[in-house]
Amino acid sequence: MMHRITLIPGDGIGPEITKATLEVVEATGLKVEWEIFEAGTCAIEKYKNPLPDEVINSIRRNGVCLKGPTTTPIAEGFRSINVALRKELDLFANVRPAKSLEGINSHYKNVDIVVIRENTEDLYCGVEHRIGDFAAESIKIITAKASTRIAKFAFEYAKREGRKKVTAVHKANIMKLTDGLFLECVRNVSKEYPDIIYEEIIVDNMCMQLVRNPEIYDVILCPNLYGDIISDLCAGLVGGLGVVPGANIGDNLAVFEAVHGSAPDIAGKNIANPTALILSAAQMLKYIGESERGRKIEKALEIVIKEKLCLTPDLGGNATTEEFSIKICEKIKEL
């Protein structure tokens, strides 16, 4: 069967890790017609629009997209196309698993956390303005609809994946109304899942607990901003941003992308670790009903990393992005 999938290679290290990922997907024998689009900085130069309509239309048509990282200008310029894509397509759930992989030198061995982050509101609504020269305001929006929807998603995910516990992260001691509403909704939903342990934790304490004892956490449910920060923290627990995949899920649409950004400091050097995007692609294959091929990719990656066959510099090796992906393709063919 031929699949049609939208592809946004992105910028920075995006094109390098996308190339590696496509080779790995191809090695599984999957037949894909990729609809390739530019977005972000490269699109703004060409089309004067960081997120051209054709990109959105293509994802709507195909139902699924693989996306490389895209740069967002800091404190000026166009708004993040990641945020725009998630809002425009109502990709309300961001799923970011952080799992220890044998062979990666990290401080912890048995981390297996999935961060589920609300993806459409909170401070990411971008409702902010300057008040004269000396003040600025940003509005945090939390709704019962979005909070209930993400809570249901998290508990359903936990049930389906055989997970035992959901931990809701908040700062409702200070933001009593916004985070208070988020918690109220999650609590209500949690009552429908008596077999899953439910607990709540204040975000600052969450950071400290994760660094001290990450093994005790399972599914972590967060509003948008805390989820963004906590998922990078969790990436650090299992070897860094190079190895953590992600998915943005809506009702009938999904965009798969790594947690990391465009890494301008290492772009064009052929040393970026493509693992995170490759694992995102593996998740994507499972989503489109190609679970066997998705599992094969994960297995091949596990072997290459565990046996330290060919690691990129972020994992302590000196392999290039290309050498790493060639090794994974070889392993896939042996499986």
Build a one-symbol-per-residue string for 254-293: x at contacts with ligand NAD by CB under 6 A, - elsewhere.
Answer: ---x--xxxxxxx-----xx--x-----------------
Catalytic residue of the set 67, 87, 171, 331: 171
Q: Which is nearer to ligand NAD, 77 or 289 (CB)?
A: 77
Q: Are 141 and 122 in contact (CB under 8 A)?
A: yes
Residues 148-207 that bind ligand NAD (CB under 6 A): none
Active site includes 217?
no
The correct pick among 50, 223, 242, 294 for binding ligand NAD (CB under 6 A) is 242
Residue 69 contacts ligand NAD per CB under 6 A? yes
Active site includes 204?
yes
CA 311/CA 328 separation, integer angstroms: 11
The correct pick among 6, 18, 71, 325 for binding ligand NAD (CB under 6 A) is 71
Q: Where are the beta strands (DSSP E) in the chain?
A: 2-8, 31-36, 64-67, 93-99, 112-118, 128-131, 135-138, 165-170, 197-202, 219-222, 247-249, 254-257
* Of 114, 68, 92, 115, the residue nearest 257 (C-alpha): 68
Q: Which two tokens stand for residue 287?
A: 């989503």
CB of 266 to ligand NAD, least distance (A): 5
Q: Are 65 and 7 in contact (CB under 8 A)?
A: yes
Q: Which is nearer to ligand NAD, 185 or 234 (CB)?
A: 234
Amino acid symbol at 54: E
Active site includes 314?
no
DSSP 138: E
Beta pairing, strands 219-222 & 165-170 = parallel
CB of 176 to ligand NAD, least distance (A): 30
CA 178/CA 183 separation, integer angstroms: 9
The secondary element (H helix, E strand) that includes residue 152 is helix 144-160
Q: Which is nearer to ligand NAD, 69 or 179 (CB)?
A: 69
Q: Which is nearer to ligand NAD, 290 or 298 (CB)?
A: 298
The correct pick among 82, 100, 224, 325 for binding ligand NAD (CB under 6 A) is 82
Active site includes 90?
no
Segment contacting ligand NAD by CB under 6 A, of 63-71, 194-202, 213-221, 292-300: 63-71
Q: Which residues contact 182 (CB under 8 A, 6 or more apart)?
A: 118, 142, 147, 168, 170, 172, 223
The correct pick among 59, 203, 241, 311 for binding ligand NAD (CB under 6 A) is 241
Q: Are 327 and 310 in contact (CB under 8 A)?
A: yes
What does the binding site for ligand NAD look like in residue numbers (CB under 6 A)? 13, 17, 69-72, 82, 241-242, 257, 260-266, 272-273, 276, 314
- Residues with a known catalytic role: 124, 171, 204, 228
